[in-house]
């Protein structure tokens, strides 16, 4: 979300402006101490937040921190392995393209046109090097991410790291299946998927969990969460799309103050 904080699927926003959820993610993430590549710009995230409405509080800060740690590691490791394409879905104001800038590595960022337009403006005004970023607009509710990637220069014969951070919770289950299956179809040998999964304890009604979760959220109406499942069900959902999960981490394993059994972080390979 983007960037995804529950990371933004800004396509679901009812407003005409950029996703506020994406902005909250960026404002919160700008406070974290994070690694960067030798040629990277660790100050870009804070720079892009200029003029955004001040952050009052972020109840999911601990989970966002865990996600950030995990996804940053996935990007660093993928680049170390020689991966030259990174696709960030629901990118929002994600800064990894410039934070982990490495010659020869291209980042493809997909998100709602309105949020993309605002990010493009901020990139231009920051006067930084954004030459390795391709911004591609999409409404994940209706658009095919695989087709969008095919039309914006992504090479399906080269290994790719696909990142779905804080995105899937904003999509219906059938849309998730279509999205992940499409990414699998564009995943060459050596590709990987890194994703966050919104989960709940076994034996609880998922529909009730979703309803209660949105009732307690400021953006529960404009950017509602749609898919929260028991961990086993969510992992099965991913497996059905052709991805084989190799790593599964609860947020609490990375940030001790995070609520357990609420969010999983996975790394998967094409099955």
pLDDT given at position 60? 86
Of 235, 253, 252, give the one whose Cα is nearest residue 244: 235
Residues shown for the chain = 271
Q: What is the pLDDT along the chain (271 residues), one digit of tens a residue?
A: 433 333 333 333 344 689 989 999 999 999 999 999 999 999 999 999 999 999 887 778 999 999 999 999 999 999 999 999 999 999 999 999 999 999 999 999 999 999 999 999 999 998 878 889 999 999 998 879 999 999 999 999 999 999 999 999 999 999 999 999 999 999 999 999 999 999 999 999 999 999 999 998 877 788 899 999 999 999 999 999 999 999 999 999 999 999 999 999 999 999 9
The string of DSSP codes covering 89-111 is: ET-TT--HHHHT--TT-EEEEEE
Domains of the chain: 10-270 (3.40.50.150)
Say how far residue 51 (Cα) sits from the centre of its chain. Answer: 23
pLDDT given at position 259? 95
pLDDT given at position 221? 82
Return d(Cα 210, Cα 43) in angstroms, integer.
36
């Amino acid at each position: 979300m983007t960037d995804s904080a529950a990371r933004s699927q800004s396509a679901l926003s009812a407003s005409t402006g950029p996703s506020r959820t994406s902005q909250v993610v960026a404002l919160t993430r700008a406070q974290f101490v994070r690694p960067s590549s030798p040629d990277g710009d660790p100050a870009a995230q804070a720079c892009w937040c200029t003029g955004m409405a001040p952050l009052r509080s972020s109840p999911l800060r601990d989970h966002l921190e865990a996600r950030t740690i995990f996804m940053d590691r996935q990007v660093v490791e993928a680049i170390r392995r020689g991966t030259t394409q990174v696709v960030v879905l629901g990118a929002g104001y994600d800064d990894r393209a410039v934070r982990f800038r490495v010659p020869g590595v291209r980042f493809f960022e997909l998100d709602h046109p309105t949020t993309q337009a605002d990010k493009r403006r901020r990139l231009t005004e920051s006067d930084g090097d954004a030459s390795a970023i391709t911004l591609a607009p999409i409404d994940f509710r209706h658009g095919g991410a695989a087709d969008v990637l095919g039309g914006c220069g992504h090479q399906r014969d080269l290994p790719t790291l696909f990142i779905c951070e804080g995105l899937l919770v904003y999509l219906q289950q059938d849309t998730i299946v279509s999205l992940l299956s499409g990414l699998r179809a564009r995943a060459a040998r050596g590709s990987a998927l890194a994703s966050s999964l919104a989960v709940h304890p076994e034996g609880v009604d998922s529909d009730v969990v979703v309803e209660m979760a949105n009732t307690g959220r400021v953006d529960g109406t404009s950017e509602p969460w749609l898919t929260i499942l028991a961990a086993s069900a969510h992992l099965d959902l991913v497996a059905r799309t052709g991805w084989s999960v190799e790593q599964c981490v609860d947020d609490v394993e990375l940030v001790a103050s995070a609520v357990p059994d609420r969010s999983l972080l996975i790394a998967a390979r094409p099955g």
